[in-house]
Structure 1
Amino acid sequence: MKLLSSSIYRYCLLVISVIMQSCVSANISKEFENATLRFSRGTPMPSSRAYMGYCNTSKTTFVVGGMNKAEEHYNTILSYSPKNDTWNEVTPINIKGEKLINTTISSGSMFLFNGTKGKEDDPMASIDVNVREVAFNNRVPELTNVSLNPQAIHKSSIAEWKGKVFLFGGRIDDETYSNTLFSFDSKKKEWKQLASMPKQMITYGTIVHGKLYVFGGRNEAPIDEIYMYNIKVDRWVKVGKLAEPIVDATITNYGSNIIIFSNEQLFIYNTDKGTLKRYHTNVGKLVGNGMTVSEEKLIIFGGVKTNSVGKEVYSSTVYTLDIQKILQ
């Protein structure tokens, strides 16, 4: 009886702590800056591409697949060294030529989820059900199918934490958005379904200190809420609202800060203080781009840019910024 009471007591304390965090975090201070963050330009990618997978280590950024203006799909994995400002291909790896691949690094390997050759806005297009592991640190890199995705889905999002990969949201078909959250153990290659998101939606998220934060997105309408999932207690709470919906974004994190790029603006959410800052940039309007942090630099690359006359142009441009400039 004492053991049972002790377990219930600890669980109640965890739930109370989540509720208290929700109440505190809901008071978000939105600081809108007039200043423009000016990115420098690095060596361009070997080819213009958008809607690619991407991930990073502390020293290297990887670009996986994607497509070009002619809707040709790339089957290569590229690596970028910010220190040397150079691009290389991870050989002899050739993936299926796909775009919209969810990519992350976990337990020392790269993992690829989803991916499609279908039209960008066609959620009914065939989604790759294979989970692929890329041993990119091997003397001869290897690509292996290691599992099947229990819910391969269009425009799902991805985040990694301590050997677990979390996939959430996305679009199932023309009329149905997903609110599912799954975790994948990158060592055991095992899946687990977790607490469903508060809404069915495409959204953008990353994990800081054991908590998954998701920002905006869309379903039948644009979304302006910020939700947080506590991995320890398997529970979602709403922690705030954006000043305006974010419907297309790339996201990464550095320390306690979450960095979001959307519509040529950069948003910095500090998870410790619950503050949200917004900056203008000189990057321009991009969609389908990638964003990572490697070698203490924030790196934005690729995507589809709208030029001064409203024409869409596939980009190979690489923009870099000292990460400390946005944390002051």
Structure 2
Amino acid sequence: MTKLGKIAKVALNLSAICLSACTSLKAPSDITVLKGPNMPTGVYNMGYATDGKTIYCIGGANLWKTTKHATDEIYLFSPVIGKWKKGNFRDKIAEKQATSSVYLDDLNVIFSTGFAYLPKPNFYTFPIEIVDLQDYSIRYRSDNPHMALQSGVVYWNKKVYVFGGRTFDNEGSRFYSDHMLSFDPYTDQWSTLSQMPAPRVTYGTVLGDYLYTFGGFDEEKIYDDIWRYDFVEDAWQVMGYLPYSASNFGVSQKYPYIFLSNIGHEQNIIGRFDVRSGSLMEIKIPITTTSAGSVIVGDYLYIFGGMTDGGKTATNKTFKIPLTELMVEE
């Protein structure tokens, strides 16, 4: 399919992509952005997931005297209690960052990937952790056929899907992955699926029978394209293009919208992608972060952690935005 130009709004029908201009939903002063409690420490590039009640922030990196350090903590935030705390798990996670995590609702566990800087005995460099929210134990899998950091990870129809990311060859050279794999936690089996359209780190979420991915980056460029993966057909389809290239942003969803938190040239835009029409609408917010967490719980979109000051500061700030304002129809 020929790229018809970078666009800000994409309207889809079953056979064509129609282009039009992107518009802002509200100015920054019109959006209600509420401050939440601070996290125990500034953190970015962490995994995050929710069971619908609690937000779990897993691993990631922080800065101490400008030096990057991987963390071995799981932080919990309950909107009902209104504060962050360290998770009281029976085990520590590995010290790792570039983490990706997803909640498996039928098993009440979190599946978490990432890159461990300090491998421990019998650990792999890219450990897969199973965080059990019932008995608060942490289990490790010794097999990981997709050893990549910043890979995407989602859950659909009782299977985990892992895709993209950065990895290394035997000589230590860095390259990017276009692999897409599924893991069945009931049979303990991995399967290789159709490759991504291009090797990269990318960001995505699931709505219905589809995975939607947005932008991303490789060694040479930052991308602006939007793709949809059909789980049933095992096939990728291009859906359009963002109005700018985008990377290191958060993704959350509530039907019929997918929210891309902190995109744009100044990282102060929430992109609201409508899966029904394929349209993208920009919503300006007074928050500028990269590599932050983004989760919807209850009636709010929460944005937490990340980097500020052009990547100089790992922030511990938490913000929440009412969904009633984000989901206003055009």
Q: Does the TM-score normalized on the shorter chain lie above 0.5?
A: yes
Task: Show the counterpart of 2:307.
Answer: 304
Length-normalised TM-score, structure 2 = 0.83
Is 1:176 the counterpart of 2:170? The answer is: no
Whole-angstrom distance in 1 between the partners of 2:311 and 2:259: 27
| Contact kept in structure 2, 1:56 and 1:292, CA below 8 Å | yes
8 Å CA contact retained: 1:45, 1:87: yes
Letter in 2 for 1:199: A
Give SS of 2:61's match.
coil
Return the alpha-carbon distance in structure 1 between the equivalents of residues 46 and 272 of structure 2. Answer: 23
Letter in 1 for 2:239: V
Q: Which residue of 2 aligns with 1:155?
A: 150
**Structure 1 residues 214-268: Cα deviation after superposition (integer angstroms, max 9, x where no partner):** 1111222221111111000001111111111113221111122111012121000
Take 2:178 and 2:271, find their aligned partners in 1: how far apart are those partners? 24
Q: Any idea what SS the aligned residue of 2:198 has?
A: coil
Pair 282,23 (structure 1): closer, same or farther in 2 beyond 3 Å: same
Q: Equivalent residue of 1:172, what SS? A: strand
- C-alpha spacing 1:230/1:325, structure 2 compared with 1 (3 Å): same
Residue 147 of structure 1 deviates from its aligned partner by 4.8
Corresponding residue for residue 18 of structure 2 = 27
SS in 2 for 1:103: strand
- Secondary structure at the counterpart of residue 69 of structure 1: strand
Q: How big is the shift at 1:72?
A: 2.9
**What's the CA shift for 1:162?**
2.6
The aligned residue for residue 6 of structure 2 is: none
Give, in whole Å, the separation in 2 of the partners of 1:257 and 1:205. Answer: 13
Secondary structure (helix, strand or coil) at the match of 1:324 reads helix
Matched residue type, 2:49? C
Please name the residue that 1:191 is paired with.
Answer: 190
Match of 2:87 among 83, 87, 90: 90
User: In 1, distance between residues paired with 2:21 and 2:280?
Assistant: 5
* Deviation of 1:115 (Å): 2.5
Trace 1:38-49 onto structure 2 (pairs within 5 A): 38-49=32-43
Is contact 2:13–2:277 with CA below 8 Å preserved after alignment? no
Q: Closer, same or farther in 2 for the Cα pair 1:202/1:289, shift >3 Å?
A: same
Matched with 1:322 is: 322
Shift of residue 314, structure 1, vs aligned partner: 1.5
Confirm or deny that 1:143 pairs with 2:138: yes
CA change 1:269–1:305 in 2 (3 A) is: same
Structure 2: gaps spanning 5 or more residues: 1-11
Shift of 1:296: 2.1
Is structure 2 residue 322 aligned with structure 1 residue 293? no
2:113 matches 1:113? yes
Q: TM-score, normalised by structure 1?
A: 0.84
Specify whether residues 221 and 72 from structure 1 end up closer, same or farther in structure 2 by C-alpha distance, changes over 3 A only.
closer
CA offsets, 1:174-218, max 9 Å, x none? 553211111112333321111001111111111110101111112
Distance 1:29 1:137 in 2: 48
Q: Where does residue 275 of structure 2 map in the other structure?
A: 271
Which position in structure 1 is the counterpart of 2:78? 81
Matched AA of 2:285: T
The residue type paired with residue 77 of structure 2 is Y
Which letter does structure 2 place at the counterpart of 1:323?
L
Gaps of 5+ in 1: 1-19, 119-125
1:108–1:28 distance in 2 versus 1, CA, 3 Å: farther
Distance in 2, Cα, partners of 1:316 & 1:157: 23
Greater helix fraction, Structure 1 or Structure 2: 1
Structure-1 separation of matches of 2:100 and 2:52:
19
